Structure 1
Amino acid sequence: MDFKGSDTVPGPRAEDQLPQTTTAAAKIVIVGGFGVGKTTMVGSVSEIKPLTTEETMTQAGIGVDDDFGSDTKTATTVAMDFGRIRITDKVVLYLFGTPGQERFWFLWNGLFEGALGAVVLVDTRRLEVSYEVMGRLEEGGVPFVVAVNTFPDGPRYPLDDLRAALDLPPDVPIVECDARRRASSRDVLMTLMRFLHTLSLRGSLT
């Protein structure tokens, strides 16, 4: 039946379709505390229009949610962010950004399922929120790298000092990044892929 007033469902955009050369895909999670830049990183690096589940922050969250940066941050992810990037003609990464508010962390287990690896975004103004994040990845057996998002007003420390403060094993990469910049975010993902390749050669990646 033809409904003249109905909307037509648009087909996929050409830029959203995978090239025929694609032969492998991997799920990567972008994880971290509230306001560390997860949505920004997914949005900056995704080659397709990212899917976000941001909702406006309200007074109801006072005393429940982490309110760090609430004077400038007006929305927060409540489910996940999703994006996609090809790192070679054959390999594509599907990116899943986790919610940062602690009351939504129950969603993490589902997002971690099937993930090849993770990026832990760190804010030097609040290193303490990263400890449980990394602990949950370790418990889930998800390999990760640490990316220090360089906020303009955030203190800068030598990476060796940050490694010690975060109690990172010597083989886990830690790098600085600017989550707003595509090239910087892509470099972080490439660091993760190289790390995963190294683990695979060691037989440590299952």
Structure 2
Amino acid sequence: MKSVKVVVAGGFGTGKTTLVSAVSEIAPLTTEEVLTQASVGVDDLAGVKDKTTTTVAVDFGRITVNEDIVLYMFGTPGQDRFWFMWDELARGAIGAIVLVDTRRLDSSFAAIDYFERRRIPFVVASNMFFGERLYSEDEIRGALRLNPATPLVWCDARERDSSKQALIRLIRHTMSQLPTQAPSGR
């Protein structure tokens, strides 16, 4: 059996833990902790004032794709102070889903930059909180300055099927990045 590693990244409060939890076939490992007074002035709650917890290490989930392939998902913490973990989480990953919240697009700039600089294939998934689709694809692409080759998908991280579609799009995008092999000369 082969294992495949995928990173779920994005800014603080974009829905990374929710996505991993929604699609994992096992009880996901999450490291959610209650926000405390210590986070006041450190964690930006603008646009997510009702958020009460935050990931402090990593989220982990698993999906069996078929009898030959198991996909492991690693969700990153979104705050700047945890970026030291990202290199280790991204090592060996075939690609990443970068979740964005259109109410706070700027919170995902660093994640997009991270994967672009390392040339790790990724898709951007616009998380439709409460079914909202406030902006068009062109508006989001423009605001994020996305490369035209970077896929943008809509998803609701709370919904298993919607989140699975984002993963499928990532896998297809990653596979399209593989070099084509010339036929052997036999």
- Whether the TM-score (by the shorter chain) exceeds 0.5 is yes
Which digits, 9 at most, give the CA deviation of each residue in 1:14-33, with x for residues without a partner?
xxxxxxxxx22111000000
SS for the counterpart of 2:66 is coil
CA deviation after TM superposition for structure 1 residue 92, in Å: 1.3
Please state if 1:141 is matched with 2:125: no
Q: State the AA in 1 paired with 2:110.
A: E
Please state if 1:86 is matched with 2:64: yes
- Partner of 2:184 in structure 1? none
Please state if 1:56 is matched with 2:34: yes
Q: State the AA in 1 paired with 2:98.
A: V
Which digits, 9 at most, give the CA deviation of each residue in 1:61-89, with x for residues without a partner?
11112223553211100000000012233
Instruction: Tell me whether 156-165 or 29-38 shows the greater mean CA deviation.
Output: 156-165
Q: State the AA in 2 paired with 1:76.
A: T
* Identical aligned residues as a percent: 52
CA RMSD of aligned residues (A): 1.6
Alignment coverage as a number of residue pairs: 181
- Partner of 1:128 in structure 2? 106
Please state if 1:24 is matched with 2:2: yes
- Partner of 2:153 in structure 1? 175
Q: State the AA in 1 paired with 2:51.
A: K
Using the alignment, how far apart are the partners of 1:202 and 1:171 within structure 2?
18
Using the alignment, how far apart are the partners of 1:157 and 1:27 within structure 2?
31
Change (3 A) 1:116 1:78: same
Which digits, 9 at most, give the CA deviation of each residue in 1:82-131, with x for residues without a partner?
00012233221100000012211111111111111000000000111121
Structure 1 length normalisation: TM-score?
0.83
> Which of 69, 75, 87 is the aligned partner of 1:109?
87
Using the alignment, how far apart are the partners of 1:67 and 1:126 within structure 2?
10
Stretches of 4+ aligned residues off by more than 4 angstroms: none
CA deviation after TM superposition for structure 1 residue 154, in Å: 5.0
Change (3 A) 1:167 1:71: closer
> Which of 183, 189, 196 is the aligned partner of 2:167?
189
CA deviation after TM superposition for structure 1 residue 168, in Å: 1.1
Larger Rg: 1
Q: Structure 2: state its 5+ residue gaps.
A: 182-186
Using the alignment, how far apart are the partners of 1:154 and 1:200 within structure 2?
34
Structure 2 length normalisation: TM-score?
0.91
